[in-house]
Structure 1
Amino acid sequence: MRYDKIIKRLLLAVVLLMTTACQKYLTVDPIDRLTGNNFYQSKEDVEANMAFMYAKFFEKIRESWVMGATGEARSGEIRATVNAGDSRTRPLDPEERTVVEVLGANALPLAINSTMFSDYKLEEITKWQGYYQVIQSANILISKLEEGIPGVDGADQARYTAEAKFIRAFTYFWMVRLYGDVVYYTDPYFSNSLPREPMVSVLDKCIADLAPHKDQMPWTFGDPAERGARPGRGAIIALLMHMHAWNASFDRANSQAHYTEVATLGKELIDSKAHRLYSLTEQNWAEVSKGRTEESLFEFYRSINYGDDTWISEPSWDTFNVRNHYQFWSHFLRWPYLFPRHNKSISAAYFVSEYMNSIYPEGEPDLRRDMWFDDIASDNGQFALKKFGYNVFTSGNEEGYPANSIIIFRYSDAILLQAEALAELNRDGEAIASVNLVRQRAEASPYSGGGGNDLKDFIYMERCRELIGEAHRYFDLIRTRRILNTAWTMAPMNLDQYNRGAWTWPLHQDARRYNPHIVLNEYWTTTGR
């Protein structure tokens, strides 16, 4: 495909990621040039700004091992394989604790500052400036759409406004889960110094801002290439569900109202039939992992068909490149899911058998156990999370990693969120019906137990089973408060730690450089050191 055609496709479909390969020909102006009336003169300009925002967000999460470090490893069930032949598994000390284990112990300052783990660039996770550049760009675009842009009116204007507000709300939601309280603003050229606002208030404002625009987005797009890669109505619903579910835990006085919204939104999504669960075959799951399927609600799509294979195939572990560190699952794969065999014969890390056997009890039927894992209870480098290993396009002595998309919201995630909310509302029959939708796809036995806490615990465990490796685990522990109970995690914290923000990430000093009102996260400036 010629470069000029690629540019047009990327800008019009917004199916782009800021990669080393595409930067050579993708002409998207930086944010400081997207502020004047001279830019917003056409629909193409709007598309270009949309492209910039998606690319900027993805560029930010590609800076570090953010998916693994924030959403999975801190739960405590991951161990490093000894002598895996990889810089990521060299022993830190006589106990041979490595980065996944340091993160699992919630020793974030050590993980961030130790030269042993410098390749992970974990300090970048503490910096929120890149996210605020996305928010600033969204604020400007929304303002320009309100003023009026030539050639953009009616349904187009409403759809672009909804999409820009989705990006803005999604970025705030992402930051809240990392840092807790954040600075919230929606003015396009706001320059005053503001203090951090309580995260519940921030998400309430995001919900109020985004919800009225939900119906202005289509369920599906005319171009299948935009499915998942560009947020449709299902993506907005999923984001609203997640924001309500988060606030249900931290805004206890209004938890029932939040759960009611999650249940209602989930029903709307399911009743739409715009999305579906693919039957679990190797071919189908390879398609889901690759992206752009009816199971995807929102993702960052990538494809070797657009010439970006130079960054899809991650470099060898000996020449590890941090710009490919965003993938969580590469640590849990080995040959024949990674190539070449001579230095990819064992996985760099594994989930411990105690945890794996608790979520996938041996002898209980479940296609996911067979399809998504090799040597599930090996407690060594033979463990493979082959859930992410089906899209391998190399062989022999070539260097190669599976080419998967970064799926943020998936249909089964939304179904299980709805089931969780229904159980919290004591609507047990409906909750059981929802969780069994996911169980049925996995050809697992339907839930037949009682209601109440037994059902709530089962739904939580189903999220562990279904979403393993997709960066939901740690955030689920936080928002359900199961992080406080050793029955649910190998890395528990006490209530005092939880209340003081031990679950957050430290905030970099740079946040205070131009804003003296910023107070850093208290836990990490005191006893969290």
Structure 2
Amino acid sequence: MKNIKYLLMVATLLFVVPGCKKFLNVTPIDALSGNNFWQTKQDVEGFTNGIYSRLKSKIGGNVMMPALDIRGNFVKVVGTIESDGNNVFNRLISNNLKPIVTATTTYDNRLKTIMNWDAWYDIIAASNILYVEVDKVPSTSLSDHDKKRYKAEAVFMRNLSYMFLCKLFGDAIYYTEAYHSKALARTPQLEVMKKCIADMNAAKNDLPTAYTESSLIGFRPTKASAVALLMHLNMWAAAWETKDKTDYYRSVLTLAEEMATYTNYYLLPINTSNTMKIFKGRTAENLFGVLQDYNYGETFAAYAGYSYFFSHYPYRGSVTKTTSFMTYEKDYINKLFPSGSADERLSAWFENYNADNNTFQFKKFINVYATGSGSNLNVNSDDSAIIFRLPDALLLAAEAAAELDDDLRAQGYVNQVRSAASATAFTSSGQTLKDDIYAERCRELIGEGHFFFDLVRTKRAVNTEYTKNPISVGNFNSGAWTWPLTISATERAANPKLVGNTYWN
């Protein structure tokens, strides 16, 4: 792996505008690690914002979040995606990633950015530096309480990055030292998860319960954010544990109990107005996300949003964009939302939901901004990227309880989510309840980047009941669920221990 001084460039200076912080310039990390930098709270805040800027570039600068819901899903291309996108997305749907590795079309290249893990390690490297250097700031400039908070934020960000690394690639190179440059082999992902769980548990209570500054709500981590992350880390660890998984599930339920003590977080009833608020990112449901707000110059690439592919005017595109590029298949969406079953999500989030053609309209992400006017008007998504929100955490708790055969408790958690959608409560038990909880995650979190991770985590990726293109058991065990890992010649020379993913590389 590259020496981090060679790898990392972070945005460090910030400019304050009403209600929002704007990242402005990029400075080499070497210029920020000497005695001339770590002197004031402004230095620390600027460096910390640089870490979040890196996350924004990774989440909002490429097609990763849509791809995580498209891969293996019951969706199909029904329009003409620009730049030969049809062929690329058909390969993604069918889990045929090998041609993408060597192809050079626009969307092949966009998907290949997912296959490069450098940006995640940039975040980890900067987080490790923040953790060490913040203690050097004079106490006259930064209180011990604030130092602990910044260190906890650093821990959160590095463990969030390791979560994504393992969910994308499996085994990962793990380190927490600042200015790390030693060549390391990849650590088994279960061991990485265990280290991350211990690391986050040790720092969690140094995060705030809530922020009073409105610009930070939903976009800087709180104790509840760490709880959500820990729930994901435990459930991912349970997926790969070959021995007793009980402790992971019990930990998730303990975390769910802690989440319930944070009364500033609660579910919002599903309707169009609340949906728009949730995906702007500052509601009582939002645990952690990445801000997009056109009014403050914080925008994503157009194709970074799910609506780019599954929506059309007036929610996406020009006035002549009257059809969508992609749709959910009729049989699948009818199974998710059966005819005659009450569910507010159906009317709030869809138009022509089971049309099975390009009139399909996805309305979950309908915060927009417009550029141009008249026939040149173009509508773009202005939704933030929500990484964790409360329904996700409640459904993980339901899943953990069901795995422990505590059906009543599992029903309690999943039915909180269903109640917010005015849907009928589940009364099922055993395996049927487990399947119901999985389907509820597919419903509630549709389009949010959880589908393929859940498919892999629950091992349903091998079952035609749950994926349009199942992976054989043999290929799954060989790593066909991972993404190919791009390793440059420079990286191989710098770290001879670095190997790719066996199935793809």
Query: What is the TM-score normalised by the length of structure 2?
Result: 0.92
- What residue in structure 2 maps to residue 506 of structure 1? 484
Letter in 1 for 2:502: E
Q: Distance in 1 between matches of 2:134 and 2:106?
A: 44
Q: Distance in 1 between matches of 2:435 and 2:308?
A: 30
Name stretches of at least 5 consecutive residues in structure 2 with no aligned partner. 1-12
Could you tell me how far 1:148 is from its partner in structure 2? 5.0
Distance across 1 between alignment mates of 2:231 and 2:31:
34
Q: Could you say which residue in structure 2 is the equivalent of 1:130?
A: 119
**CA distance change for structure 1 residues 427 and 126 in 2, over 3 Å: closer, same or farther?**
same
User: For the residues of structure 2 that align with 1:327 and 1:452, how far apart are their CA atoms?
Assistant: 36
User: Any conservation in 2 of the 1:28–1:51 contact (CA below 8 Å)?
Assistant: no
- When structure 1 is superposed on structure 2, of 139-148 and 471-480 the one drifting more is 139-148
Rounded Cα–Cα distance in structure 1 between residues aligned with 2:28 and 2:78 = 42
1:8 corresponds in structure 2 to: 16
Of 454, 472, 494 in structure 1, the residue corresponding to residue 472 of structure 2 is 494
| Counterpart mapping for 1:294-333 below 5 A | 294-308=284-298, 311=299, 323-333=301-311
2:417 maps to 1:420: no
1:439 aligns with 2:434: no
Query: What secondary structure does 1:291 align onto?
Result: coil
User: In 1, distance between residues paired with 2:103 and 2:370?
Assistant: 35
CA shift for structure 1 position 282: 1.6
Superposed displacement of residue 390, structure 1: 4.5
Question: Displacement, 1:42?
Answer: 1.2
Residue 79 of structure 1 is aligned with which of 60, 76, 81? 76
User: Which among 245, 258, 266 is matched to residue 268 of structure 1?
Assistant: 258
Whole-Å separation in 1 of the counterparts to 2:208 and 2:319: 45
Amino acid aligned to 1:7: F
**Residues 84 and 107 in structure 2, CA contact (< 8 A), matched pair in contact too:** no
Structure 1 residue 362 corresponds to structure 2 residue 357 = no
- Classify the secondary structure of the residue corresponding to 1:470: coil
| Residue 446 of structure 2 corresponds to residue 457 of structure 1 | no
Q: TM-score, normalised by structure 1?
A: 0.88
What do residues 202-254 of structure 1 show as CA deviations (whole Å, max 9, x unaligned)?
Answer: 11111111112212212210112211111111111100000000001101314
Aligned in 2, Cα 1:515/1:522: closer, same or farther, shift over 3 Å?
same
Alignment match, 2:188: 198
Does the C-alpha gap of structure 1 residues 458 and 88 become closer, same or farther in structure 2, counting only changes over 3 Å?
farther
Greater percentage in strand: 2
Residue identity opposite 2:324 in structure 1? S
1:218 aligns to 2:218 (yes or no): no
SS of 1:190's partner is coil
Instruction: Tell me the number of residue pairs that the alignment of Structure 1 and Structure 2 aligns.
Output: 488
Spell out, residue by residue over 1:331-355, the C-alpha distance to the aligned partner (whole angstroms, 9 max, x if none).
Answer: 000122124221x100011111121
Which blocks of at least 5 consecutive residues in structure 1 are unaligned? 17-21, 92-97, 313-322
Q: Specify the code of the residue in structure 1 equivalent to 2:289.
A: E
CA distance in 2, matches of 1:58, 1:512: 27
Secondary structure (helix, strand or coil) at the match of 2:461 reads helix
SS of alignment partner, residue 75 of structure 1: coil
Kept in 2: contact 1:276–1:411 (CA 8 A): yes
Higher helix share: 1
Over the aligned positions, Cα root-mean-square deviation in angstroms equals: 2.1
Offset from partner CA, 1:333-379 (integer Å, 9 cap, x none)? 0122124221x100011111121111111111100011101111111
Query: What is the deviation of 1:383?
Result: 0.6
Separation in 1, partners of 2:184, 2:31: 24
Cα distance in 1, alignment partners of residues 85 and 236 from structure 2: 37
CA distance in 1, matches of 2:407, 2:374: 52
Indicate if the aligned counterparts of 1:416 and 1:463 stay in contact, CA closer than 8 A. Answer: yes
The CA deviation string for residues 69-99 of structure 1, in whole angstroms up to 9 with x for no partner, is: 2x111123121114x4x415665xxxxxx22
Q: Is the 8 A contact 1:78 1:100 kept in 2?
A: no
Whether the 8 Å contact between 1:99 and 1:117 is mirrored in structure 2 is no
Which residue of the partner structure matches residue 241 of structure 1? Answer: 231
Work out the CA distance in 2 between the residues paired with 1:293 and 1:148: 33
- C-alpha separation in 2, matches of 1:160 and 1:275: 22
Q: How does 1:21-60 map to 2 (within 5 A)?
A: 26-27=24-25, 29-60=27-58
The residue aligned with 1:518 is 498
